Amino acid sequence: MALFSLLVPDYDVALAFFTSLGFECREDTDLGHGKRWVRIAPPGAETEILLARAVGDRQVAAIGDQGGGRVWLFLETRDFDLDYDRMRALGIQFEAPPRDEPYGRVAVWSDPWGNRWDLIQFAQTSRSGTVG
């Protein structure tokens, strides 16, 4: 997968939020008529997020609900405690304290628009089923 779209109400606000978390802005191209091609990703990530400014009632209504209320975005970390503490210092509200699951250490948080994310450090360094 190359990238996926995340509906946001405003390009600049979303870009500022994600870059404050350490995401890279990989492209920000003006396409005219108020539309931009804004690609972001965590450093080193292959899959990118395309920030898509919602247009029209249907898209605006879907902001923050693209996952239907469930966690649908997974932000992987290699140092859970460091990133958890850093995100809390930035004002990110976690739904509950971190927990350990068979697949890794995880805590659920929401972005400013209501999308639910997991901050996750996988138990295995490779998700192919073998410990690396």
Does the pLDDT of residue 131 top 50, yes or no? no
pLDDT in tens, 10-65: 999 999 999 999 999 999 999 999 999 999 999 999 999 999 999 999 999 999 99
pLDDT in tens, 62-97: 999 999 999 999 999 999 999 999 999 999 999 999
Buried/exposed code over 45-62 (b: 16+ C-beta within 10 A; e: otherwise): eeebbebbbbeeeeeeee
Instruction: Determine contact, residues 9/113, Cβ cutoff 8 Å.
Output: yes
Using CA atoms, how far apart are residues 79 and 82, in angstroms rounded to an integer? 6
pLDDT of 124:
82
User: Degrees (nearest 5) of the Cα angle 23, 74, 102?
Assistant: 135
pLDDT of 125:
66
- Taking Cα atoms as reference points, which of 126, 129, 80, 120 lies closest to residue 101? 120
Instruction: Catalogue all structural domains in the chain, each as residue range(s) with its CATH number.
Output: 1-63 (3.10.180.10), 68-132 (3.10.180.10)
